A and B are shown apart, each in its own frame.
Chain A
């Protein structure tokens, strides 16, 4: 079962590259076609300290993210003007138990760090990536590229509820 899924995933990934180059999958990828194969960090400035961020901006970061809400149950998220601290605290607890095995808050690990994520991803994209990673890594252009950038290490679906994912999102605002 799992082996088959992984093979499927690999096939999807390999053909995904071609796919991105060769055809457009609706609105989102229309703008993405040009740079998907680029691995150069090109225009980035601060070399040293930004190295983790760089890893992510190399390729996935080159894809337009501001209009990408990802694929999944979350269509729109409204963030309050200030951080809801109680919600963020609850999110920190969930994050620690369900996410830290692969995500360190401020440093690249198995997966990317959430620090500064609002400068790279929309809130909807973040929640959809938490709630619906299987479809995201198959179909969303950023998530697909991230999977490649992170050595095909899959984003685990930790079966958070939407409410829990929202709390984790609020926690990310404190980082």
Chain B
């Protein structure tokens, strides 16, 4: 009520603004200016000091990060580094976080992050964790949604282009990761001219510990060398199954633009994972030698550790029948989405105008009646007519992804015709359409992939921005758009720029997350091996050419803030503990000439920066994060003596404590 009143107040000056600027707007703004702008402004206006209604987590696409926004305002709160190093937060630079980026290919400081997925309980978003895939060097990461920090990464072996990932089962029993680009399995020195013979795909089922969220690969299903593009797990009636779209059933390794677009139909892959898990637990499958990394942040020691795993269980469906089926599906299907009831399996045939919807109950019947068209690589292909539940006809061009509201409607993105189409589940009738600016990829309804959507908004995650914002040279901002879907007609409310490509996004009501947000790390629970819990424990210790500085921060000084006895050629490790126990009081730490980054240290946390001084001198260090009125005084010095000199290790804070 209160808000509405304020909005009215806001609307008046805006009206004035728009009428007085209309001439300017007509000539200078983009060609698609918003009509009913004041109404849209009132729907997205969150007064200063008020909170948004939803959190929105967008993948950063090829920035390798996750963006955290508020809806309906579109305000950016934070970005979370996941697969890309971040010098601001020292992610991948602080010694404690480096292991999270370890892989069998070494330390990888970047990846292409595509699909954030919020953990679910009983098919409803629960907001405990956010999973996201690294596409290039196949990995899955887990973000803790109490801290908004990446706490785990696991490499996916026998995969290439980890795209149909990470799709969750309705109870977060499994995180599912499929390969988009098939590869020789096992990896060998093979030519892609032998694609059909030697290249295979894997679909991985990674078990999630229900208490800790920790991931462990249970098994991989060995598939023909197609491209497995996207995935969705069953829910409700179809819980226990997972579906994947596939393309390149032509099995070509070159000019896929043409060569992989030959077949009229490719397949939706249906996997009964409950049955597969039973087979594996009963001893089926082959242990294949591999090397992959599993990296986990230990909450107690605040330090990530890497584990190298050397074997993976692989299940071949041509040898173990009855848990994998192919459902023929038109024209290189891309998006894979299941409606809230679990009955309808929607495949976005991206080179088509129609949207094919398979029926889960018909599929079960087809399996029971052996309505099998043929077998491909030993996998039964069910008859198209026997599994098809319906078709959304001529919705637009190039259907990609579908999410659902809580009123029985589907919302499908159409990339080529650049629009969102609303249609009725069951009747397949097109109800409404609205343009997007431009070239929408994924879309997101809060909870729109779960059993319980909050059908208030749909967010368009666009590929092209073109003329929507002030130009910034050849590279334009990435952009998303917010639409109201509470009425019969969809309404565009807001364009908002995003950090990184908003490849996919998920939203969740703010009240599920905000009260669980962590404020400080408790100092008495800090078991970091190099913690300094009080200033009298601060010290500097030399071990050969390593110098370990055990340092503390509190507003507004370091202890010690003066260090001597460091020599050129030393490796200096600053182990800095933030003694603060209050919310929003991180301290920063920077030292001149550091070749990595600053440290940004949350209250109660210890972080380590390695510094290798190159020159003799006395170098300043200081706090980078404005902490108090005496922030500029939060500063000190490290004296660096020549290599081989005898300057003894000394350290102090305060004139009284300085050595004679």
Q: List which B508-539 residues lie within 8 A (CB) of chain A.
A: 520, 523-524, 533-536
Contact A9 B629 (CB under 8 A): yes
Residue of chain B at shortest CB distance from A158:
B581
**Could you tell me the distance between the alpha carbons of A110 and B629 in the complex, rounded to whole angstroms?**
13
Do the beta carbons of A156 and B555 come within 8 Å of each other? yes
Across the interface, name the chain A residue whose C-beta is closest to B603: A159
> Can you list, as one digit per residue, whether each of B158-189 has a CB less than 8 Å from chain A (1) or not (0)?
00000000000000000000000000000000
Please tell me the size bucket of the interface on A: 20 to 34
Q: B584: which of A2, A100, A110 is its contact (CB, 8 Å)?
A: A2
* Cα–Cα distance between A36 and B582 once the two chains are bound (Å): 30
* Complex-state Cα separation, A136 to B627, whole angstroms: 19
Give the contacting residue for A153; candidates B534, B555, B579, B585; CB below 8 A.
B555
In the docked arrangement, what's the CA distance between A159 and B581, Å?
Answer: 6
State in angstroms the CA–CA spacing of A96 and B523 once bound together.
Answer: 12
In the complex, the answer to whether B555 meets A98 with C-beta atoms within 8 Å is no
Task: Check if A117 is an interface residue, CB within 8 A of chain B.
Answer: no
Q: Report which of B580, B625, B654 forms a contact with A156, defined as CB distance below 8 A.
A: B580
Which one of B520, B523, B628 has the greatest number of beta carbons of chain A within 10 Å? B628
Interface centre among A6, A102, A159 (most CB of B within 10 A): A159
Quick check: A6 and B554 within 8 Å, CB to CB?
Answer: no
| Neighbour of A101 across the interface among B579, B582, B630, CB < 8 A | B579
Residues of B within 8 A of A100 (CB): 534-536
Residue in chain B with minimal CB distance to A1 = B584
CA distance A6 to B555 in the complex (A): 12
Determine how close the nearest CB of chain B comes to the CB of A52; give it in whole angstroms.
Answer: 12
Of all chain A residues, the one with the shortest Cβ separation from B626 is: A3
In the complex, the answer to whether B580 meets A158 with C-beta atoms within 8 Å is yes
0 or 1 for each of B584-618: is its CB under 8 Å from A? (1 = yes): 11000000000000000000000000000000000
Interface: B220 (CB within 8 A): no
Beta-carbon nearest neighbor of A13 in chain B: B629
Nearest A residue to B536, CB-CB: A100
Is A154 an interface residue, CB under 8 A from the partner?
yes
Nearest A residue to B554 by beta-carbon distance?
Answer: A101
Q: In the complex the two chains form, is A159's CB within 8 Å of B582's CB?
A: yes
Asked whether A10 is an interface residue with its Cβ less than 8 Å from the other chain, the reply is yes
Closest residue of B by beta carbon distance from A150 = B630
B442 at the interface (CB under 8 A from A): no
Against A, the Cβ 8 Å flags (1 = close, 0 = not) of B556-587 are 11010000000000000000000111101100
- Nearest-neighbour CB distance to chain B for A64, whole angstroms, equals 27
Roughly how many angstroms separate A159 CA and B584 CA in the complex, as a whole number? 13
| Alpha-carbon gap, A1 to B585, bound state (A) | 10
B238 at the interface (CB under 8 A from A): no
Contact, CB under 8 Å: A152 / B629 = yes
The answer on a CB contact under 8 Å between B554 and A157 is: no
CB-contact partner of A158 in B557, B582, B630, under 8 A: B582
Contact present for A101 and B523 (CB under 8 Å):
no
Q: In the bound complex, do residue A6 and residue B580 qualify as a contact, i.e. CB atoms below 8 Å apart?
A: no
**Judging by beta carbons under 8 Å apart, are A98 and B523 in contact?**
yes
In this assembly, does A97 line the interface, its C-beta being within 8 Å of a C-beta of chain B? yes
Residue B103 interfacial (CB < 8 Å): no
Nearest B residue to A107 via CB reads B656
Tell me which residues across on chain A come within 8 A of B409, comparing CB atoms. none
Interface hits, A124-175 → B, CB 8 Å:
151-154, 156-159
Task: Report the minimum CB–CB distance from A171 to chain B (whole Å).
Answer: 15
Is the beta-carbon distance between A151 and B627 smaller than 8 angstroms? no
Q: Are B535 and A154 interface neighbours, CB within 8 A?
A: no
Q: For chain A residues 93-125, which have a beta carbon within 8 Å of chain B?
A: 96-98, 100-102, 109-110
A117 CB to closest chain B CB (Å) equals 20
Contact A10 B629 (CB under 8 A): yes
In the complex formed, the residue of A with least CB distance to B625 is A2
Contact pick for A96, options B536, B556, B582, CB 8 Å: B536
Q: Is the CB of B552 closer than 8 A to any CB of chain A?
A: yes
Interface residues of A in 1-52 (CB under 8 A from B): 1-3, 6, 9-10
Complex Cα–Cα for A136 and B536 (A): 28
Interface residues of B in 604-654 (CB under 8 A from A): 625-630, 654
In the complex, are the beta carbons of B533 and A154 less than 8 A apart?
no
Q: CB distance A6 to B582 under 8 Å?
A: no
A154's partner among B520, B524, B628 (CB-CB below 8 A) is B628
Contacts of B629 in A (CB 8 A): 6, 9-10, 151-154
Pull 28 A–B residue pairs with CB atoms less than 8 Å apart, ordered by A: A2-B625, A2-B627, A6-B629, A96-B534, A97-B533, A98-B523, A98-B581, A100-B536, A101-B535, A101-B554, A101-B557, A109-B654, A110-B556, A110-B557, A151-B630, A152-B628, A152-B629, A152-B630, A153-B556, A154-B555, A154-B629, A156-B554, A156-B555, A157-B581, A157-B582, A158-B582, A159-B581, A159-B582
Which A residues contact B (CB, under 8 angstroms)?
1-3, 6, 9-10, 96-98, 100-102, 109-110, 151-154, 156-159
Question: Given known contacts A101-B534, A151-B630, A154-B629, what 16 new A-B pairs fall within 8 Å (CB)?
Answer: A2-B627, A3-B626, A6-B626, A97-B524, A97-B534, A101-B535, A101-B557, A109-B654, A152-B630, A153-B630, A154-B628, A156-B555, A157-B581, A158-B580, A158-B582, A159-B581
